[in-house]
Amino acid sequence: MSDIILATEGLTKEFRGFIAVNDVTLRVRAGTIHALIGPNGAGKTTCFNLLTKFLQPTRGTIHFKDRDITGMRPAEVARLGLVRSFQISAVFAHLSALENVRVALQRARGGSFDFWRSEEVLHHYDHRARELLEDVGLGDHVDTPAVALSYGRKRALEIATTLALDPEMMLLDEPTAGMTHEDVERIVALIRRVRRGRTILMVEHNLSVVEGLCDTLTVLTRGRVLAEGDYAAVSNNPEVISAYLGT
C-alpha cells in the first residue's frame, strides 16, 4: 500500500496562454503536514483551486487515495475526504459560532430540514458542535456571532467548520495570514491539536510557522516545483534562497 494520499502528475493550468501552474508533480504522504510555499504569483492558489476542483487543469492528473479525481466536482472530492478550509462566508456572519458549526455538521450529513428539526438530532449536533468549538479554543465563545469574533478566532471557527466534515485531508489556505503574533501561536497550537492523524496541506507565508509545523515543504516558483524536502534542506537550498530574495 502506498502511503501517498494525494498525488499529482504533470499538473498544468494555463490562463489564455499564461502558464500559472507548470507540470507540477506533487506527492503528499498520509498523516503529514505538507507546506506549499513560494513567492507571490508562484501558482500556490491556482494549485489549491486545481486540487479542490474549483479549476479544471489544462493537463495532468490528480489522485486522492488512489482514485483519479481529475474530472470530479468539488462536492464529490469533499465527500471523499479532501476538504478545503474557507474563510467564513458573509452569509453566516450573524449566526453564532455554535450555529455555524451546527450548519456545517448538518451539511456534512446531508440531513433534510425535517430530519434536522428532530430533538434527538438537534441535541446530537449541538453536543458535537460544542466539542469542536472546545477543540479549537472557542469554548467560551459558542454564542458569539461570527461577525463579532476577533480575526484570529474567526479563523479558528473556520477550522472548526472544516473539522465538522471530519476530513481525512485538509487544505488550509494561509491559516495565519494577517494575524498578530499571539494569534499565530494559537492557530499553530490548534493545528497541532486537531490534526489527529489527518493529512494537512497548507499554503503558508510565515516560514517560522512552516518550520515549526510542517514535515515536508514544496517550493513553487513561476508555476514550477523548485525544491522539495524538510525545512532544513529547503531553507539551505541556494536556488530557494535566490527565488525568495528575487536575485
Which residue lies nearer to ligand ADP by CB, 43 or 175? 43
Which residue lies nearer to ligand ADP by CB, 12 or 144? 12
Instruction: Give bridge partners of residue 68 from the DSSP assignment.
Output: 63
Block residue for cell numbers 506533487: 26
Contact 103, 146 (CB under 8 A): no
Sign for the CA dihedral angle at 87, 179, 159, 188 comes to: positive
Which residue lies nearer to ligand ADP by CB, 54 or 116? 54
Site residues for ligand ADP per CB under 6 A:
15, 18, 20, 38, 40-46
Query: What angle is formed at CA 136 by the lines to CA 36 and CA 35, rounded to 5 degrees?
Result: 10
Instruction: Output the smallest distance, CB 76 to ligand ADP, in A.
Output: 23
Q: Which H or E run contains 212?
A: helix 207-213
Instruction: Output the smallest distance, CB 64 to ligand ADP, in A.
Output: 20
Instruction: Output the smallest distance, CB 15 to ligand ADP, in A.
Output: 3
Which residue lies nearer to ligand ADP by CB, 15 or 86? 15
C-alpha cell at 215: 514535515
Which residue lies nearer to ligand ADP by CB, 43 or 167? 43
Which residue lies nearer to ligand ADP by CB, 18 or 113? 18
C-alpha cell at 104: 456545517
Contact 38, 197 (CB under 8 A): no
Phi, psi of 199 (to 5 degrees): -95, 140
At a CB cut-off of 8 Å and minimum separation 6, what does 136 contact? 156, 157, 159, 160, 163, 190, 194
Contact 76, 149 (CB under 8 A): no
Instruction: Output the smallest distance, CB 188 to ligand ADP, in A.
Output: 21
Instruction: Output the smallest distance, CB 242 to ligand ADP, in A.
Output: 17
Instruction: Output the smallest distance, CB 201 to ligand ADP, in A.
Output: 14
